[in-house]
Amino acid sequence: MNAEEVRERAASLPREPGVYQFREGETTLYVGKAVDLRSRARSYADPRGARIRRMVDRADGIEIAVTDTETQALLLEANLIKRHQPRYNVRLKDDKSYPMVQFTDHEAPRIEVTRDPDTGAQSASDAGGAATVFGPFTNKGRVETVVKAIRETYGVRGCSDHKYAGRDRPCLDYEMGLCTAPCTREIDRESYREDVESAKRFFEGETGVLADPLRRRMEAAAQERNFERAANLRDRLEAVEAFHGEGGEAVRAAADERVVDVLGAAVEGETATVARLRAERGKLVERDRHTLEAPRTDDGEAVPAVLAAFVVQYYAERDLPDAILLPERHGDEEVAAWLDAEGVAVRVPGAGREAKLVDLALKNARRNVGGRDECGMLADALGVESARRIEGVDVSHAHGRSAVGSDVTFVDGRAEKGDYRRKKLADENDDYANMRALIEWRARRAVESRDDRPDPDLLLIDGGAGQLEAARDALADVGWDVPAVALAKAEETVITPDREFSWPSDAPHLHLLQRVRDEAHRFAVQYHQTLRDDVSTVLDDVPGVGPETRTRLLRRFGSVENVREASVEDLRSVSGVGEKTARTLKERL
């Protein structure tokens, strides 16, 4: 685009906050945010630097998305940068995106929290019959609370297509009041669609659609002296009422600066490292480092651009601290306005303890930039391209019963718990067969694009040569090309398809694999223990407890463990549970 074309396109844009994209055909070259889209777009008619001038010359169009607030523009910018990885943006290498809420375009739509909505999905403001997506949101816990409240109030299904198709009776979600079972026509399609539209209205800003029914249920529970249920509903109501009040986007900082983040940045060529230190009540509690792609700016001022990009992309999906200490000003007026509106103090200390913390962060950043960390050391030792994203898998069972598999994810050496997955396996007293089944499940989801996570750089198998061979057979059968290695517990030997490694016990890259292996084992055992208390095998085996009574017990006490701990008198308070059944429950459980 030449200067005149940019001015003509800018003249048609609104004077509202939003996000703009310079495009070359279907490729996004650059993503930016603006308080005034028209004014910002017009500034590209005379770019300040050669790099941006080259970008404008390549572009053949500008696309925009208007937002209600500057904060939403910041968050949407971060989302689009991560999704499109535009060449001319500073990009934080972080596979995690923040959650969105999607209503699918099925005949009976389902609601789901996803980090990777359907590529054909429409935004909430778009017309058309495709999937509808709301977000992004940064408080995943609040989003999940709201979605559960939506399902309890309107019965919108959350099951997969595989589970939905071909059913002849409703599933447990129906019995627990989480779904109205359109799969078996317990509700007619027109009524179900009306409920879905009501649920969508909440995400469009109509808080009362969900808050009012929750308040009525809370008050009814209190009148019935069911105080535990009332307290649970109160917590959900607070989350629902805060959802739109805070935009679901950022967390206000406390006035006493209890939590302070200290950032240091170092740039080498087109690679940058930002080190983050977290101090709580004056004590250092956390340290981490993050890698960014940082093309040097034309005036040589790369660090401010890196700091601004990091702040937006990192805190778009995390709670904001009370204060951020920087080695120098980031220079982005909109980022500064956002942080100021959220009550986050931003300082560049010149002396004293805060300055020493910034110096420490800078040392951490400089030590890593262009250097080798444990992920890089592991990649070099194994001869793989990268080991930044690792998935660890393990299986657990009790002599073939309650067999399960775990799949945990580590990114840059840290657990990414939002990407953990687990799988119930067919009961089989064969570790190799169980491992093969688990890997086949993961691989098929990947190749069929049914898994919303990126492919890992490395797959770590908890076990020895037999487990690794079973895993590699499954990978080959499905056609999922991912490097896989195993870590055997006895000698802490790393096994690859070609050889075995016995690394020193203090090797950082061995410690990384051990952390992943141990977490996969813990997660598998935890799920296995949960299944041993499965509702369908424990409560259903108690004489006098049928499906309806089981559902009432779970609604009243919340879990099988709580049913175990309840007194006979508490059990008798549940409709359908008499003296005999209550005593039988106590004896059997």
According to CATH, where is 1.10.150.20 located in the chain?
535-588
The pLDDT assigned to 205 comes to: 67
> How far apart, in Å, are the Cα atoms of 390 and each of 219, 435, 455?
48, 17, 9
Query: What's the rounded mean pLDDT across residues 207-225?
Result: 81
The pLDDT assigned to 410 comes to: 93
Percent of the chain with pLDDT over 90: 20
> How far apart, in Å, are the Cα atoms of 355 and each of 152, 346, 390?
51, 13, 36
The pLDDT assigned to 346 comes to: 93
Residue, of 456 and 142, whose pLDDT is higher: 456
The pLDDT assigned to 323 comes to: 92
pLDDT digits (tens, 9 = 90+) for 452-471: 888 999 999 999 999 999 99
The pLDDT assigned to 553 comes to: 81
> How far apart, in Å, are the Cα atoms of 210 and each of 123, 243, 324, 539?
21, 11, 36, 32
- Give every CB contact of residue 475 below 8 A, 6+ residues apart in sequence: 439, 443, 459, 481, 482, 484
Alpha carbon distance 550, 361 (integer Å): 55
Q: Which of the four pLDDT bands, split at 50, 70 and 90, describes residue 295?
A: low
The pLDDT assigned to 117 comes to: 65
The pLDDT assigned to 467 comes to: 94
The pLDDT assigned to 254 comes to: 33
Residue 126 dihedral angles phi and psi, to the nearest 5°: -85, 155
What is the topology classification, in CATH, of domain 259-371? Nucleotidyltransferase; domain 5 (3.30.420)
Query: What's the rounded mean pLDDT across residues 14-39?
Result: 89
In the predicted structure, residue 159 carries a pLDDT above the cut 90 = no
In the predicted structure, residue 101 carries a pLDDT above the cut 80 = yes
Alpha carbon distance 143, 418 (integer Å): 13
The pLDDT assigned to 531 comes to: 62
Per-range mean pLDDT, top range of 20-34, 115-129, 200-214: 20-34
Query: What's the rounded mean pLDDT across residues 151-162?
Result: 86
The pLDDT assigned to 119 comes to: 46
In the predicted structure, residue 288 carries a pLDDT above the cut 80 = no
In CATH terms, the superfamily for domain 535-588 is 5' to 3' exonuclease, C-terminal subdomain (1.10.150.20)
Q: Which of the four pLDDT bands, split at 50, 70 and 90, describes residue 116?
A: low
Alpha carbon distance 337, 554 (integer Å): 48
CA 18 to chain centre: 24
Query: What's the rounded mean pLDDT across residues 97-101?
Result: 67
> How far apart, in Å, are the Cα atoms of 138 and each of 14, 76, 135, 158, 334?
27, 11, 9, 21, 19
What is the topology classification, in CATH, of domain 3-89? GIY-YIG endonuclease (3.40.1440)
- Give every CB contact of residue 456 below 8 A, 6+ residues apart in sequence: 389, 390, 391, 409, 482
Per-range mean pLDDT, top range of 478-482, 556-560, 577-581: 478-482
Per-range mean pLDDT, top range of 46-60, 206-220, 406-420, 543-557: 406-420
In the predicted structure, residue 128 carries a pLDDT above the cut 70 = no
In the predicted structure, residue 336 carries a pLDDT above the cut 70 = yes
Per-range mean pLDDT, top range of 16-30, 305-319, 359-373, 395-409: 16-30
Residue 51: count of CB within 10 angstroms of its CB: 14
According to CATH, where is 3.40.1440.10 located in the chain?
3-89
Q: What pairing do the DSSP bridges indicate for beta strands 401-411 and 389-398?
A: antiparallel
Domain 376-531 has CATH 1.20.1080.10: no
